[in-house]
Structure 1
Amino acid sequence: MLRILLHLMAGLLLLSGPGAFAQRIVERNYQHYFAEYGLQGSFLVLEAGTGQYTAYNLARCRQGFLPASTFKIPNTLLGLETGAVTDTVEIFRWDGKKRSFPQWNEDMTFARALRVSCVPCYQEVARRIGAARYQQWLPKLRFGQMRVTPATVDSFWLVGSSRITQFEQIDFLQRLQRGQLPIAKRNQELTKALLVLGRGPDWMLRGKTGWAMRQQYDNGWFVGWVEQAGKTYFFALNVEPADGQPATAKFVQGRRALTEQILRQEFGLLGSPGKK
């Protein structure tokens, strides 16, 4: 009897702990926001204080995609933690090769490399970290399912079999926001400072976009969180062009624009009243 009671008590503790919030999901239809930018995809928000998720296209929120440049968040943490990068002002020298994103064609600090999402800079960071250290560190970070080998060390987040879901993105961001990753507090704080995208009198937006570009296929991310009036909301957007055609400016701009529209109009964030 005592054993049965202990099992029941353990079950109640599990239901009342942080994981209990995982099943609190409300589904909403945000299709008209996506249609405005010619996009299709899914959107997930977690209100940290209540543990309630709001999802559009819930099944897709549970589907894994290449992380693309959202991996620059853990890559920044690991670059600093392993000493592959000395600090956020370290200069990355342009190799002289002209690329289609002109903002990459210059010398820049590590901080700017994150802000302009400089793939060549972060590929250099990845080579410095090396496959062995990734294999050691990535399971500790629990950032989706990353597959890295010596041959793919500077591309595994852009191509291949690495995957992360929107739920996993938000789980990782929660631990970063709370300073609960197995990374030095200083390096977590430095990384969080680099993610600031906007602020107002009582709110702050942090986030990172991503764009996986493969043959005739584009997949985009915008992930992050909003701190407003003592509350924190985490979000993860994943999108593709609705017509299946190559990405246009609407795709590039729409990732962040439609996310901010939903956060403002549906949740009253970013300084605007909402519908809730």
Structure 2
Amino acid sequence: MAPYLRPMRWILVWLPALWLVLGGAGLQRPAVVERDFTAQFARHGVRGSFLLFDAPAGQYVAYNPRRCRQRFLPASTFKIPNTLIGLQTGALPDTAEICRWDGVTRSFPQWNQDMTYARALRVSCVPCYQQLARRVGVARYRQWLPRLGYPGMVITPATLDTFWLDGRSRISQFEQVDFLRRLQAETLPVEVRHQRAVKQLLLLKKTPGYALYGKSGWRFRSARNPDNGWLVGWVEHPDGRRAFFALNVEPLPGPLNDDRFLASRRAVTEAILQELGWL
């Protein structure tokens, strides 16, 4: 055979196999089962969408699936990859590192004090994570976010300490769930000890029947945008069964009660998880 034909022969031999692999991957995508959870949302004065990946069944359960594919600012749910990147790059030595209060009094009293980064994640202390962002820097975010498979973030020097709160960064509920599945399985390209440290900080509740992990987020309203809230995480049972979820909500039209809106994220999520038999 002429030398110039050998590459073509290799392509012809492997192309069918490659097609089967890619085609098979497409055919094996998890099904999306639609459910109506309107009542749970309305009961708490919000509207939005809910996505759950039922790992034992290998399928998604979705309320408002089209919206589940819509992208929103991640707000404080970004503290999950932010902490991982900080730990992996050494910008954050460990989660016991103290974040020093800058002396600026803010509307959330729990932020107005020195605290560890473990506590900063749990109370969603934005100023502490802005300090961390400045340590990490633009270049390392641009390097590590693609490695983590955390898409949609737009980072510039001017937006280094706000890009997850405002601007053009966006992520969908499907993308959030995909990221959490890899974190829970400890398959992210980050040292396992860092993944375990972050997972431990996400534990919201543990009972004999289940453990609930999660991180909330709140994109504050502005002249152009309404409030937008997240709760992302997973629930696992003692027998190893797991389900991963992402909730995104906005308040219904009318007077806004911030306390009710904040509470709605977990209330709606737990109501749906109970209905689906996970809590």
Same fold (TM over 0.5): yes
Equivalence for 1:48? 55
Distance 1:144 1:64 in 2: 10
Q: What code does the residue aligned with 2:259 have?
A: A
Equivalence for 1:241? 251
Q: Which of 214, 218, 233 is matched with 2:227 structurally?
A: 218
Q: Which of 117, 129, 154 is matched with 1:147 structurally?
A: 154
Equivalence for 1:274? none
- 1:182 equivalent to 2:192? Answer no
Distance 1:161 1:247 in 2: 27
Equivalence for 2:270? 260
Equivalence for 1:273? none
**Preserved CA contact (<8 Å) 1:21 1:51:** no
Q: Structure 1 residues 203, 14: CA separation in 2 closer, same or farther (over 3 Å shift)? A: farther
Alpha-carbon distance, 1:6 to partner: 5.7
Distance 1:104 1:22 in 2: 42
Indicate the percent of aligned positions where both proteins have the same amino acid.
57
Structure 1 portions without partners, runs of 5+: 271-276
- 1:71 equivalent to 2:78? Answer yes
Q: What code does the residue aligned with 2:228 have?
A: N
Equivalence for 2:95? 88
Equivalence for 1:200? 207
Alpha carbon RMSD of aligned pairs, Å?
A: 2.0
Distance 1:7 1:243 in 2: 54
Q: What code does the residue aligned with 2:94 have?
A: D
Alpha-carbon distance, 1:244 to partner: 5.9
Q: What code does the residue aligned with 2:118 have?
A: A
Task: Spell out structure 1 runs of 4+ moving beyond 4 A.
Answer: 2-12, 14-17, 244-247
**Preserved CA contact (<8 Å) 1:84 1:129:** yes
Q: Which of 33, 44, 57 is matched with 2:64 structurally?
A: 57
| Greater C-alpha Rg | 2
Distance 2:198 2:123 in 1: 15
Distance 1:161 1:245 in 2: 28
How many residues align? The count is: 268
Alpha-carbon distance, 1:7 to partner: 4.9
Distance 1:209 1:65 in 2: 14
**Preserved CA contact (<8 Å) 1:146 1:157:** yes
Q: What code does the residue aligned with 1:32 have?
A: A
For 1:22, what is the secondary structure of its paired residue? coil
Q: What code does the residue aligned with 2:241 have?
A: K
List aligned pairs for 1:18-57, cutoff 5 A: 20-57=27-64
With normalisation by structure 2, the TM-score equals 0.90
With normalisation by structure 1, the TM-score equals 0.91
Alpha-carbon distance, 1:9 to partner: 4.7
Q: Structure 1 residues 50, 241: CA separation in 2 closer, same or farther (over 3 Å shift)? A: same
Distance 2:129 2:147 in 1: 20
Q: What code does the residue aligned with 1:255 have?
A: R
Q: Deviations over 1:16-70 (max 9, x none)?
A: 55x6553400001100000001100000000123320000001100000000000
Q: Structure 1 residues 122, 136: CA separation in 2 closer, same or farther (over 3 Å shift)? A: same
- 1:126 equivalent to 2:133? Answer yes
Q: What code does the residue aligned with 2:277 have?
A: G
